[in-house]
Amino acid sequence: MSRLMIFGATGYTGRIAACHAKRAGLDLVLAGRGGEGLDLLGAALDAETREFPLHDAEAIDAVLHDVAVLLNCAGPFQHTAEPLMAAAIRSGVHYLNIAAELDSYRLAGEKDADAIAARVMLLPGSGGSVAMLGSLAGRAAETIEQPVRIQIALRVAGSMSRGSAISAAENLSAECLERVDGVLVARDSGKLRDFDFGDGPVACFPVTLPDLVTIWKAGDVPNIGTFVHIAVDAFPTGELSEMPDGPSAVERHANRYQASVEVTGADGTPRVPCST
């Protein structure tokens, strides 16, 4: 089996992923909970489509019978990750998603033993800011012999997609956390600090990002803090469901995400800043 199924294929990011997959020549299945848009996208990409509800485990298992990898692009992931992860384990299918929601990573950790037994990979955060921040943190940590603290910030400019805005809004009330001596603990969400993204210091506020899990797992750095700076026009106001689907390719190019990371060593080595 070598088929890739993209669930949430008609969403903003799902469509981008589907187009890239088609251009790469992958054996592609487009999936979702139904609607005319799925059929239209399938016809445009000459790809098979499959519809199924997430509350029906048997229906999910039936459509995964010939799939090797399932990419979940349907957020908020607090509603979609659990049934699809569970089905992937039952069906022996590798699971990926593009979540930036901490709960999706905790869920993968809870299901880790079952996934290993089924020889299945669970990889939340397989794209987007999580991959970017993790790569930058890893590169910066290489410059310190024994890194013990990583402080990392994301600067978001330009407009979000509708799906990202809805996911972010549903997770804004989540507890503000940091990792201290390897343990996730609560912190003051109002304690801002400056990061330099290459054009001078910018005030960033603490936020719970999944990098508290991914960076720790990848490098075993015991102290991690995550921050974000959101441009004035980046987070929308008003009814989110009425937002445009997402920014155009031109808008994406003009408003790239930026990241800044600072690493401190165990011997008191001065922090090493790095940005991209």
Token pair in block for residue 256? 């790239």
- pLDDT greater at residue 104 or residue 237: 104
Burial class (CB in 10 A: 0-12, 13-18, 19+), 96: buried
Residue 114: CB partners within 8 Å, gap ≥ 6?
89
| CATH annotation of 129-275 | 3.30.360.10
Question: Taking residues 214-243, what's their average pLDDT?
Answer: 79
Residue 219: CB partners within 8 Å, gap ≥ 6?
137, 138, 141, 147, 150
- pLDDT greater at residue 131 or residue 209: 209
Percent of residues, the chain, with pLDDT higher than 90? 59
Taking the model in full, what pTM does it have? 0.84
Domain boundaries, the chain: 3-123, 129-275
Please say if the pLDDT value at position 243 is more than 70.
no
- Distance CA(2)–CA(75), nearest Å, equals 25
pLDDT for residue 43: 96
Question: Taking residues 154-159, what's their average pLDDT?
Answer: 79
pLDDT for residue 135: 87
Burial string for 100-139 (b: 16+ CB within 10 Å, else e) reads bbbbbbebbeebeeebeebebebebbbbebbebbbebbee
Please say if the pLDDT value at position 250 is more than 80.
no
DSSP assignment letter at 11: S
Question: Taking residues 95-111, what's their average pLDDT?
Answer: 92
CATH class of 3-123: alpha beta
Please say if the pLDDT value at position 232 is more than 70.
no
The 3-state DSSP class for residue 99 equals coil
The 3-state DSSP class for residue 186 equals strand
- Distance CA(45)–CA(18), nearest Å, equals 8
pLDDT, tens digit, 9 for 90 and up, residues 210-222 = 999 999 988 889 9
Question: Taking residues 52-66, what's their average pLDDT?
Answer: 96
Please say if the pLDDT value at position 273 is more than 70.
no
Q: 233 falls in which pLDDT band (50, 70, 90)?
A: low
- Distance CA(140)–CA(87), nearest Å, equals 37
